[in-house]
Amino acid sequence: MNSGSRYQRINFSSRPVGLNDDLLWNGTIIQHRIKTFAEIITGPLFSDLSNSPPVSDSVTFAIYGCLGSGKTSVMEMIHEECQQVTTQYGVLHRFHYCHYSGTTNDIPVEDIEKIIAKSILSELAGGDDRAIEIFLPYALEISRSPDILISNDYPSVAPGWIASNLEAIANTLVEFNALAHVVSDKLRGNDSLGGQSQVLLVLVDDLDHCEYRYLWKVLDAIQRFRPIPNMFFILSVDHQHLTSALQEKFSLAKHPVDSDSAVEKYVQYAISIPEMDKQLLQRFVDNLVLAVYPDDNFGATIRQSVAFIQHAIKDPITPRSIKVLLNKLSMDLNRELFDGWDIVERQRMIKIRLLEYTWPDFHSLLIMNVNSKDGLEPIKAALIELETACSEFAESMDETILNVALEQILKVFGINWMRIPTRLARFLGTSPFLFYSGRIQKGATEILRQT
C-alpha cells in the first residue's frame, strides 16, 4: 500500500479479551455459566450476610476448548465478574500459575505444591517482603529444624534474600502440613491481623501445552489444597488432552479407572467452549469486522463471504484462526482496486487469495496458466466442469458424485484432480464461482492478474 493511501491496516490481536470486548458469548449459555462460576467463587463473602454455610473445601473449575478457542478469555471474564462483586463486599486475590517447560517433566508433585504455596503467601500478604513478615512466625513455630529456614538475621539487602526466605517459609508450611491451617485462617478473616473474609482465585492456564506426566502432577498438587476453604482453581485445558493425561496416569493402577471418573476426581464444574458452527462464525465475523471496518467495502465483503471463508480455515475454526486469516487478507489485498469492483467481484478476489493461502498448489496451477502465452482458456472448460461438480458436492456431500465427475474430467481433459481435498471441493462449490455457469462479470483471468 502506498504511504498516501487512505486505508488503515488493522491487525486483529490474539490477546485474551474481557467482558467489554467479548464478541461471542453475550446472551449465550457460556455467559450464563461465567456469571454462575463468579457467584460460586464470591459466595463465601456473603456467608455472614445470608447465613449460608461457608465453603468447606477448595473448588476446581475447568475451561475446556481447543487451542485458540478463547479459554483464557473466558477465564478473564470470570475474574472480571468476580471483581464486580468483591470490589464492594470483600477481597479477591488472584494469580496465574504457568510453570512448565520441556525440563519440568520430572519435577516432584511436592515441588509444584511448594511453588503454588509460595505464590499464595505472596498474594495474600500483598508482596514477598510482607509475606515474610506475616508468615515467618508460623514457620518458626512449627519448624523442628532451624536450618530449614535461612536465618532471618541475614541482611535483607543481600541478593535473593527475600525470595529465598519466602521459599523456605512456604516449603516449611508444606512439609509440616501447616499451610491449610495458616491460609484458612487468613481467608476466613480469623488471623491475628483481624482481616475480613477473602477468596483466593488461582488461574492455571495453558495446561494443554504440558506433557501428560506434568499435567497430572499439577492436578495432584491442586488436590493437596482441597482442605483450604474459599480457595478456587480455574484450569484452562483441552478436554481430550486432559483425559488422555489421566488415562496414562491411571493405566498403571491396580484397578483401572475410566477417564470420565478420573476427571470428576479433579474438576467439580466445567465450561466447554463449543466448536464454531456457521451461525457462531457469522456472529463473530460480523462483530469483529464492524468494530473496525464499519463503513468499508472490505469489511462488508468479508461479512458477506463467510459461507466460503469457513472452508478455507482448517478445523477446528477458532477466534484465533479467524483473526489470523483476516490479518492476511487485510495486508495483501489491493484496497484501492478492491473498491472499484462490485460485491461479487470483490468476493472473487478474496476467494482467489484464500486459494493462495490454503491450497497453494491449486492456486499455482491457475497462475501458471494465466501467465502462459495461451492464457487460461485451455483449462477453462475443465475448471467449469470442476466447479459444477464441486457445487453439486457442496449441496449433497456425496463424494461419489464428486469422484465420478473428477474421473470424467481426467478422461476428457487429461487433468488429474482425483485427490482434490473435500474441503477444497466445498470451497470451490460455494458461490460466487470463478468459472461455473458463465457467472463471471469480470473475467477470472483479469482478477488473477490484478491481485
For residues 408-430, average pLDDT: 86
CB-CB contact of 240 with 251 (8 Å): no
Q: Is the pLDDT of residue 441 over 50?
A: no
* Residue extents of the structural domains in the chain: 19-272, 278-450
Residue 157 is predicted with a pLDDT of 53
What pLDDT digit, counting tens, does each position of 247-273 carry? 888 877 667 777 778 888 899 999 999
The structure's pTM equals 0.84
CATH number (3.40.190.10, 3.40.50.300, 2.102.10.10, 1.20.120.400) of 19-272 reads 3.40.50.300
% of residues, the chain, pLDDT over 90: 27
For the ranges 57-66, 149-158, 271-280, 383-392, the lowest mean pLDDT is seen at: 149-158
Helix/strand/coil for 204:
strand
Cα 450 from Cα 244, distance rounded (Å):
49
Q: Give first-to-last CA distance, the chain, whole Å.
A: 13
Mean pLDDT of the chain: 81
Q: Which three cell numbers stand for residue 202?
A: 488461582
d(CA 64, CA 62): 6
Q: What is the mean pLDDT of residues 68-83?
A: 93
pLDDT in tens, 142-178: 876 554 455 555 555 555 778 888 898 999 998 888 8
The residue-averaged pLDDT of 230-259 equals 85
Least confident of 38-42, 191-195, 350-354, 360-364: 191-195
If pLDDT is split at 50, 70 and 90, which confidence band does 2 have?
very low
| 299-326 mean pLDDT | 92
Q: What is the pLDDT of residue 280?
A: 92
Q: What is the mean pLDDT of residues 107-124?
A: 87
Cα 246 from Cα 263, distance rounded (Å): 7
